[in-house]
Amino acid sequence: MVVDEGVTNILMCGVGGQGVILASNITSTAAMLAGFEVKKSEVHGMSQRGGSVVTHVRYGESVSSPLISKGRADYMLAFERLEALRYIEYLGEHAIAILNTRRMIPTTVSSGPFEYPDDIEVHLGRNIPVIVVDGPGIARKVGNVRTANTVIVGALSAKLDIPLEIWKAAVHRSVPPGTEEINMKAFEEGRKLAGSQG
């Protein structure tokens, strides 16, 4: 797989219904509005049944491939904690992981054969910074639990060199009509949280 120099690689993972695709659309739109070339790839088979959803977002001056090579992701946004472990091999040496606190227990755990690990932050954070975000809690606080995905994007925005005004424009362009204001509140809370974590 081609490795492009000077390209920012963002891997987003979660399960169906968490708004991973919308989050990748906001991020891609922000990068395009900032003048970068952007490529995005989505895999969301079985998403209606709570299956794994992953998107690759890559942007820079020139991007040849839409897919991130393993070990090359600069950022991971894990909308569900267990999904972070599923895609941990994509994390680069200097990556940052943004980990939502949401747990969605898979049938392999709820039916008994396996246990849901409690030490996901430890596995992720051995060599890289992990920003833990209570997406559902913050979304409830702003008034709509469905904006948890926008909270996570807000956290990412605090780490990328894209101006805030461009992010705001991307949110307004991407979210469903009539939800712009509540999504902006969620975005701003996520950004504030990540900014406070260094």
pLDDT in tens, 3-60: 567 899 999 998 888 899 999 999 999 999 999 999 999 876 554 556 778 999 999 9
Q: What is the pLDDT of residue 101?
A: 86
Q: Are 138 and 193 in contact (CB under 8 A)?
A: yes
Per-residue pLDDT at 47: 47
**Between 16 and 112, where is the model more confident?**
16
pTM: 0.88
Is residue 135 classed as helix, strand or coil in its secondary structure?
helix
Residue at token pair 């969301």:
44
The distance of Cα 19 from the centroid of its chain, to the nearest Å, equals 10
Of 2, 163, 146, 152, which Cα lies nearest the Cα of 69? 2
Domains of the chain: 8-196 (3.40.920.10)
Cα separations in angstroms, 70 against 1, 25, 66, 93, 128: 9, 22, 13, 11, 16
Q: Check residue 162 and give its pLDDT.
A: 97
Instruction: Taking residues 54-79, report their average pLDDT.
Output: 94
Q: What is the largest CA-CA distance in the chain?
A: 50
pLDDT at 126: 66
Cα atoms found within 13 Å of the Cα of residue 116, Cβ hemisphere only? 14
Q: Among 82, 95, 35, 34, which Cα is nearest to 54's?
A: 82
pLDDT at 1 over 60: no
Q: Give the model confidence (pLDDT) of 131-190 as tens digits.
A: 999 999 999 999 999 999 999 999 999 999 999 999 999 999 999 999 999 999 999 999
